[in-house]
Amino acid sequence: MRISNQTNREDGPKRGFGQRKSERLFKKISLFALLAVVAVAGCSNGTSEPNYVSAYKAEDANPELSAAINKFALDLYAKLEDEPGEADPGPNRMISPAGIGIALSMLKDGAEGETAQQMDGMLHLNGMSPEVLAESQMILSDLLRGSDPAVKMDIANSLWSRQGFEVNKDYAERIEKSYGAQVQAIDFTSDQAVSTINQWASDNTAGKIPEVVEAPLSENLVLLLMNAMYFKGDWSEPFKKGQTEDLPFYPEGGQEVKVPTMRQSGDYAYLDGEGFEAVRLPYGETRNFGMILALPDENSSLDEFKQRQLPKFNAWSQELSDNEGSIELPRFKLKDKLTLKATLSALGMVDAFSDQTAELGGLAAGGAQPGDIFVSFVTHDTFIEVNEEGTEAAAVTVIGAETTSVPAPQTPFDLKFNRPFFFAITDRTTGAIVFMGEVGNPAED
């Protein structure tokens, strides 16, 4: 293994590394967007203006929140192996822990007692108060929006309450102010309720996620907490379409398939790690956003990588250094929908889902007894498309609450992503992992 201590860079291509590693290709796309940030206060739709300039500097970000976000993201992604959130998991998977984390943070603001403690532990907040959490997320969100004028990073939050259910006024005001959330009462029994909620999701994901709830909604539903995230960035060094051609991809244990594969050479931030190689492809002008792609060695597998190296992501992702090489990367496009009740329960958030012990009194005016209000579902819809120009990704999380009542000599590399591989989109300004995933079969949507 060679680990260089050179300064991390995000420049373009370099030649040569994947040939010696394998002619098999992963086809398991699992987008794992990991950043728990919130919309800027007073910006209820989270939309970034062109050339948006953040009111904050990188040093204003709370490092404890960034660390908590990434820990939760890695925990969540690992737990999906046991609790995948879908009845028939395919070779591709995709999530945005970032959006999930934001929605859960809003919920935690109304949690009490053991329920709040369980959520605190799951989110690795170490006793961070709701006030500090909300302020820290607001700053992080603003920094993300202004990280690169050429990259669009939007975050939106909303709280929908059933008409007749009196939301805790202080809670609603905090969510609206600190998280920039749209707060609205709606008749969940009306024909328009579902279309209105779905329209909000569509509007805040550029139409990529047009449907997140279905009719009829439960008659016991009293609250919906929602987060939407949208990312669109062009590669700093776009792939040339003329170099894209159908090349073989080798799914784990499956037959070879031909997929449109992009090719590029140049200087990249690269790592020859223990049992894998990784490269970072930057977006935009500042190159703060970038996609980290990790390819397990030919004699290894994506499962082994996730078990051994994914928990160390925060460490090895800082070791990438400038190297010359070439890349082959399949185009891919994915959509996914997960239900996360079992996954989050397995991570320690147990009481919130119980109609006996959930302590969510902070959500309701006048409070509530344990079990009066509980979380009935958490759904997560995601979308990503990667092509020659860049990447477009979106995610919507919905929480439903019901009531009972040192440098080494450089060696040119040739990196061919023609077998299952991992990827992550990160931001250097905040240190946050924005999206993360894996491609097991780019031929499957």
Confidence band, pLDDT 50/70/90 cuts, at residue 444: confident
pLDDT, average across residues 168-192:
93
CA distance 328 to 418: 7
The answer on 66 and 193 residing in a single domain is yes
Percent of the chain topping pLDDT 70: 87
> Closest Cα to residue 236, out of 271, 278, 277, 269?
269
The answer on 155 and 74 residing in a single domain is yes
Residue 168 pLDDT: 96
Q: Structure tokens of 85?
A: 């959130």
Q: Which residues contact 46 (CB under 8 A, 6 or more apart)?
A: 39, 40, 141, 154, 155, 156, 157, 180, 204, 228
Judge contact between 381 and 204, C-beta under 8 A.
no
Confidence band, pLDDT 50/70/90 cuts, at residue 140: confident
Residue 52 pLDDT: 78
CA distance 352 to 377: 10
Residue 365 pLDDT: 94
Assigned domain for 264 exists = yes
Assigned domain for 3 exists = no
The answer on 414 and 278 residing in a single domain is yes
The parent domain of residue 289 ranges over 16-27+235-331+407-440
Q: Structure tokens of 179?
A: 């998280």
Burial (Cβ within 10 Å: 0-12, 13-18, ≥19) of residue 233: buried
Domain count for the chain: 2
DSSP for 213-274 reads: --SSPPTTEEEEEEEEEEEEEEBSSPPPGGG-EEEEE--TTS--EEEEEEEEEEEEEEEEET
Task: Specify the amino acid at residue 361.
Answer: G
The answer on 418 and 431 residing in a single domain is yes
More confident residue, 403 or 27: 403
pLDDT, average across residues 51-65:
89
Average pLDDT score, the chain: 87
What is the C-alpha radius of gyration for the chain, rounded to an integer number of angstroms? 21
CA distance 443 to 81: 22
The answer on 245 and 313 residing in a single domain is yes
Assigned domain for 6 exists = no
pLDDT, average across residues 50-68:
88
Assigned domain for 9 exists = no
Assigned domain for 198 exists = yes
What are the CA-CA distances from residue 327 to residues 122, 185, 268, 298 (Å)?
37, 51, 10, 16
329 strand-pairing partners: 262
CA distance 161 to 89: 33
The answer on 112 and 75 residing in a single domain is yes
The answer on 23 and 34 residing in a single domain is no
The whole-angstrom distance between residue 303's C-alpha and the CA centroid of its chain comes to: 20
CATH number for the domain spanning 125: value is 3.30.497.10
Confidence band, pLDDT 50/70/90 cuts, at residue 411: confident
CATH number for the domain spanning 417: value is 2.30.39.10
**Cα 172-399-77 angle, rounded to 5 deg:** 125
The answer on 87 and 169 residing in a single domain is yes
pLDDT, average across residues 190-207:
96
pLDDT, average across residues 261-285:
96
Residue 49 pLDDT: 53
pLDDT, average across residues 159-179:
94
CA distance 269 to 322: 4
Residue 407 pLDDT: 46
The answer on 116 and 95 residing in a single domain is yes
Burial (Cβ within 10 Å: 0-12, 13-18, ≥19) of residue 350: middle
Residue 97 pLDDT: 84
177-192 exposure pattern, b = at least 16 Cβ within 10 A, e = fewer: ebbbbbbeebebeeee
Confidence band, pLDDT 50/70/90 cuts, at residue 1: very low
Residue 301 pLDDT: 95
The answer on 397 and 272 residing in a single domain is no
DSSP for 77-131 reads: HHHTTT--SSSS--S-EEE-HHHHHHHHHHHHTT--HHHHHHHHHHTT-TT--HH
Q: Which residues contact 395 (CB under 8 A, 6 or more apart)?
A: 33, 95, 96, 98, 99, 205, 209, 227, 228, 229, 380, 381, 382, 383
Assigned domain for 432 exists = yes
The pLDDT tens digits of the residues spanning 144-162 come to 888 998 999 999 999 999 9
Assigned domain for 108 exists = yes
The pLDDT tens digits of the residues spanning 4-37 come to 333 343 444 433 333 333 333 333 333 333 332 2
The answer on 149 and 104 residing in a single domain is yes
Residue 106 predicted with pLDDT over 60: yes
Residue 442 predicted with pLDDT over 50: yes
The pLDDT tens digits of the residues spanning 321-331 come to 999 999 999 99
Residue 410 pLDDT: 66
Residue 22 pLDDT: 32
What are the CA-CA distances from residue 336 to residues 121, 160, 371 (Å)?
27, 24, 31
Assigned domain for 223 exists = yes
The answer on 320 and 431 residing in a single domain is yes
